[in-house]
Amino acid sequence: MQVDIVGRVNNLQLALTQPYIPLLECLVNSIEAIEDGDVKDGKVEIHFERDMREQTLPNSDETFHAPIKNITVIDNGTGFNDVNARTFLMSDSTRKATRGNKGIGRFNQEEAADG
């Protein structure tokens, strides 16, 4: 079976009130990778990247930060071994369904088709 990733992403609906579901799935994956690797000093880092400029509103002294551009999640778990890499590349994987994972978090982003 082949999957058109752009079509798959366009067919998914992510509620405006739940924009962090993909991030939550990444965090769960990190925690599970630490558990799977039996890592005693597990560590998860989350990095948010914004445009490095502050912007001002027209006719206002108020400033706001530019939107978040990228989010990077780093952990010291099992990593992308062969099994994990194959599963990551599989649409709607059921590999970790018994843990409650749905395998669609990476498809709930506008730019998922680029990566």
Structural contact between residues 73 and 26, judged by C-beta atoms closer than 8 angstroms: yes
| Residue-level pLDDT at 35 | 93
| Residue-level pLDDT at 43 | 97
> Could you write out the DSSP letters of every residue in 44-112?
EEEEEEE-S-EEE-TT-S-EEEPPEEEEEEEESSS-S-HHHHHHHTSTT--TTGGGT--S-GGGSSGGG
Cβ within 8 Å of residue 41, ≥6 positions away: 76
Residue whose tokens read 């690797």 = 37
What residue type is 115 in one-letter code? G
Per-residue pLDDT in tens (0 to 9) along the chain, 115 residues: 677 777 777 777 767 777 777 788 788 889 999 999 999 999 999 999 987 666 666 777 776 777 888 899 999 999 878 887 777 777 777 777 787 776 665 554 444 334 4
| Residue-level pLDDT at 56 | 64
- Every domain of the chain and the residues it spans: 17-114
pTM across the whole model: 0.63
| Residue-level pLDDT at 81 | 81
